[in-house]
Amino acid sequence: MKIIDMHCDTISRIYGERKRGKHARLRSNSFQLDLEKMKRSGYLLQNFAMFLDTGETASPYKDCKEQIHIFQEEMKENQDMIAPVTSYEEILENESQGKMSALMTLEEGEACEGSLEKLEEFYQLGVRMMTFTWNYPNSLGFPGEPVASRLAQSQGLTHLGREFLERMEELGVIPDVSHLSDAGIRDLCQFAKKPFCASHSNARSLCHRGRNLPDELIRGIAERGGVVGVNYYGPFLTATTDVLGRFYGYVSDIAAHIRHIADVGGIECIGLGSDFDGIDNNLELKNCGSLGRLERELKQAGFHEGEIDKIFYQNVLAFYKELL
């Protein structure tokens, strides 16, 4: 079984732990994702997000650069197991050498602080995907949640956000619409010239959250050749709490979102976007070593082996072949 995961926050978690004076490494840790668990599970590629909470930093750009330094440091220290990639060909080269691949992404466009020059700098450092927002309005656009009012969802990309979209496509930085408002995603559907993705989003028809995608936008992403990475986080999977009052991430609910997205947008538009190390531990898939449980659940849900391969890695790999 091969796996491509479009989103985790592990580098950002390591960054946070080190700022608190704790020892944290990518090779082996007690987090939801590390290289040893990835290797045992058969990972082909992991997207590593440099995550920023702009409500907690005075300099998003500086904090992002510090996280990128950690990413680069970890890639160098673990070059026997994994190597960073900026192209499709490098993914294949790493696989031929028995190595996993790491794709660097930004989660929060305000890392660029409104500067196209900073966007270009991040590209030169190896970033190949970026969300426009996280959970706050910024210079590029408006989020879908937690500001999930009808007014917020009706506000999309700013004028600068459209300029960023154009430059991202010119450079080869894949636009990621996870966290973006409905109106912002509609802007991508209207103005994007290339396919784009939602790296870690689910179906709103099954769980009514502003972070999840309505059917209209699942179709919009799929019709433009994009992919949706299904998120494992309980509150994005179900609106119903368990007996302990938790929004629990059951594997059956992940499979239900995959089935719905397949029915709406087609089997070719689905990938995985765990959100590991950015979510709580109320998960049936406890860590990246547990993906066999999802494989078994999908088989029980009626997906055949070829479809599961598409979901687990082939769809995203084809997406990267076109765009990287």
Assign residue 209 the CATH number of its domain.
3.20.20.140
In SS3 terms, 11-55 reads as: HHHHHHHHHCCCCCCCCCCCCCCCHHHHHHHCEEEEEEEEECCCC
> Taking the model in full, what pTM does it have?
0.96
Q: Residue 263 corresponds to which tokens in the numbers above?
A: 């029915």
User: Which residues, at least 6 apart from 302, have a Cβ–Cβ distance to it below 8 Å?
Assistant: none
Mean pLDDT of 63-92: 98
Query: What's the pLDDT at 147?
Result: 52
Query: What's the pLDDT at 145?
Result: 78
* Domain count for the chain: 1
Alpha-carbon dihedral angle through residues 253, 256, 257, 259, given to the nearest 10 degrees: 160
Where in the sequence is the domain holding 144, given as residue range(s)? 3-323
pLDDT in tens, 102-119: 999 999 999 999 999 999
Mean pLDDT of 30-56: 97
pLDDT in tens, 184-235: 999 999 999 999 999 999 999 999 998 999 999 999 999 999 999 999 999 9
